[in-house]
Amino acid sequence: MRQFWQEHSKASSLEEMMLDSSAQQLTQEDVAEILGLLPCVEGLVVLELGAGIGRFTGPLADLACHVTAVDFMESFVTHNQKENGHRPNVVFLQADVTSLELPTQSFDLIFSNWLFMYLSDAELSKLAQKMLNWLCPGGYLFFRESCFHQSGDSPRAFNPTLYRSPKEYNCLLTSAQKILGDKLYGFEIVLSRSVQTYVKVTLSSVPVLLSRYDTLQQFLDNEQYAVRSIQRYEWVFGPSFVSTGGINTTKELLSMLTLKPGQKVLDVGCGLGGSDFYMAKEFGVEVLGLDLSHNMVELALERAQQETESLVEFEVGDATRRVFPEGHFDVIYSRDTILHVGDKIGLFQRFLLWLKPGGQLLISDYCCGPRPWSEVFTKYVKQRGYSLLMPQEYGQVCN
């Protein structure tokens, strides 16, 4: 990246061309939509990488405690200073992100918009490790990249690009880790159409039930919901379905709800999104599909691109730790997922908090028969890490 810009950024006509192009890329509505995906920025210390002409610098500075806006192009930095230099909480840096050095644990949020596609895999991996050092524990990295509607990789002299799928970003970023004392710091990626990630802090212990996998997420992606297993589920239950009954059971369950156009629906354990696509098409609702499996969400995102007017978004996320505003959803829907959750009471309390007054909650799940179980079944449940209840026990938890 450095070599490319050193060779070409001296041409003023090229800088002017890029400046004009950058100015036309985003509308005010686009900026508002992208910023709406961020966690609460109020009072945070923000690092903006690839700040460009400052379309996001001003709105970020209006909320954040401090913003450091970085770009390699001198003309971009000059334009940003002209637009936002009057803001006392903004510092402007002209620097190449691949060689940028900043203090450790000095930022709460790192924000990047359409920058990583100009970096090689090696450069992005190196930057990921640096960003992990720059972020405070529990801080956020948000990045937005074009993954699906690209014009294609291009080594051309002007504006070279390297487009990656969400899966490739996941692999590159989650490979960055840092150990401090007994804590492991790393990226836990959240995938949506605008790709974004955040940093989490986890203890370096390994749950006994998951054997050789550090987390339930790794177990699911490597065992139960490995790509080959997902394909097998689809062969049995139908395209985009991994739950018993496929589309027929979906229709039966949704008939119990009163779905209206414009309502917001959360699908916990969305899988490949078959139910979500159906709800959006049939009822005109907006659906957020949440699943712990990267494999599931990566495939769902690919299929969502075939839906020209889809009202469905997907995220990799853990419903037991995900944060949503109070009263955010009209409906919460979940099929055959909560058997993976031990603290069901805590999860249902979250559901009630997220639902609007009068909201609807619809769950289907696997239950078990009376105990004691057979030795074979006991071993199976332990190996899968399931938390199974009898129907009457489930009813008590829900109440």
Indicate the helix (H) or strand (E) that contains 20.
helix 12-25
Mean pLDDT of 1-28: 48
Which SS3 state, helix, strand or coil, does residue 45 take?
A: strand
* Inter-residue contact 370 to 277 (CB < 8 Å): no
261 lies in the same domain as 370:
yes
* Inter-residue contact 104 to 133 (CB < 8 Å): yes
Which SS3 state, helix, strand or coil, does residue 327 take?
A: coil
- Listed in order, strand segments (DSSP E) in 337-397 are 355-364
* Inter-residue contact 272 to 242 (CB < 8 Å): yes
Number of domains in the chain: 2
What pLDDT score was predicted for residue 16? Answer: 47
234 lies in the same domain as 191:
no
Q: pTM to 2 decimals?
A: 0.65
Residue 197 bridge partners (DSSP) = 141, 189
List, for residues 99-126, the tens digit of each pLDDT value. Answer: 999 999 999 999 998 899 889 999 999 9
135 lies in the same domain as 11:
yes
Percentage of the chain modeled with pLDDT above 70:
77
For residue 348, CA distances in Å to 215, 237, 363 come to 22, 28, 11
Cβ neighbour number for residue 92 with a 10 Å cutoff: 20
In a domain, 169, yes or no: yes
What pLDDT score was predicted for residue 183? Answer: 65
Look up the domain containing 17 and give its range: 2-203
182 lies in the same domain as 237:
no
145 lies in the same domain as 254:
no
pLDDT of 263 > 50? The answer is yes
What pLDDT score was predicted for residue 12? Answer: 44
Q: Best-predicted range by mean pLDDT among 25-34, 188-197, 199-208, 369-378?
A: 369-378
199 lies in the same domain as 233:
no
In a domain, 212, yes or no: no
Least confident of 59-68, 212-221, 389-398: 212-221
In a domain, 218, yes or no: no
